[in-house]
Amino acid sequence: MATVLLVDDDPNILRPLRVLVEREGYRVLTAEDGQAALAVAAIESPGLIVTDWMMPRLDGVDLCRRLKGDTATADIPVVMLSAALPPEPEEPLWDVLLLKPVPIGRLIKAIHGLLDGPPQEVSGRMSGH
């Protein structure tokens, strides 16, 4: 099971996002800002990071710069979520940019795509027969 690290300073976004991603069968870790995300990424080596851009202490763009600058985390794919267009970096720092409000289906599709296909189904469908 792949691990997804969700990074956002707004608990009202982080909590429901966690539930949605867990329902897709992924292990979910969370961080409230880029600084905390760096610490979690160093310890846990997530398969994917979904981060907000505008956060205190260390924003999403700087988080991506630091991740890409460290050989231990440079290859972790990143989905950047933003209510506004972040500054265009000289080199790619994230794999997917999604503007808020993000349709849930689009976010889930991006997560599946970056993690090489759908996760294992956690629970089968029950028939009413």
Q: How far apart are CA 63 and CA 67, in angstroms?
A: 6
Q: What is the structure's pLDDT at 122?
A: 43
- Domains of the chain in start order, with CATH, are 3-114 (3.40.50.2300)
Say if pTM beats, i.e. exceeds, 0.85. yes
Q: What is the structure's pLDDT at 129?
A: 38
pLDDT in tens, 92-110: 899 999 999 999 999 999 9
**Pick from 33, 40, 57: nearest CA to 4:** 40
User: Token pair for residue 35?
Assistant: 């600084």
Q: What angle do CA 49, 50, 52 make, to 5 degrees?
A: 130
The residue ranges of the chain whose pLDDT is under 70 are 117-129
User: Token pair for residue 85?
Assistant: 């267009």
Phi, psi (rounded to 5 degrees) for 3: -105, 135
Q: What is the structure's pLDDT at 75?
A: 95
